[in-house]
A = this chain, B = another copy of it.
Amino acid sequence: MELDKIKELVEMMKANDLSELEVVNGQTRIVLKRGPNQTAPQVIAMTPALTANGANPALRERLAAAGPESKDLPAEAAEDEKWARIVAPIVGTLYTAPSPNAEPFVETDSKVEEETVVCIIEAMKVMNEVKSGVRGTIKKILVENGSAVEYGQPLFLIEPD
């Protein structure tokens, strides 16, 4: 094994942010590991989900799914990654329309301005308007009318202009 070859492998690891590399070639075996705390190479958005195996798997799933850094499905992740998110600024009950019989504030493919109200979150009987904050097109609505949302929970995916 030449040193040059190892050097090249190391460069490649760095460039591609690999944390571990193993090469076996006949009698030769090379193992390289990088970074003190990384156990796996970073790909897309890594969700440090709860590793717990405790009382309520349902909660764990919910937590894992609801976290602002999480994704619904790995397959969708790559696509969703392109879009910005509108997240809940407070904890409360979300309404997608100003009143039960009214039209929703926004729908998929709605064009929104930064100041456009996209939903309301009720907390302690106060209706808090949530504004888009971004100019663009709503691509996906992640929550249902009347559902409870927690702080930081993604509500809409938006394609910025």
Contacts and interface: CB of A to CB of B under 8 A. Distances in A.
A32 to B, nearest CB: 6
Q: Is the interface of A mostly helix, strand, loop or mixed?
A: mixed
A126 interface: no
Given A24-B27, A27-B25, A10 B1 contact: no
Contacts of A5: 3
Given A8-B3, A17-B35, A25 B28 contact: yes
Nearest to A24: B29
Contacts of A29: 22-25
A75 interface: no
B12 A6 contact: yes
Contacts of A3: 5, 8-9, 12
21 contacts: A3-B12, A6-B23, A10-B12, A11-B16, A13-B18, A14-B16, A16-B34, A18-B33, A18-B34, A19-B36, A20-B31, A21-B30, A21-B32, A23-B28, A23-B31, A24-B27, A24-B28, A24-B30, A25-B29, A26-B27, A36-B37
Interface of A: 1, 3, 5-14, 16-37
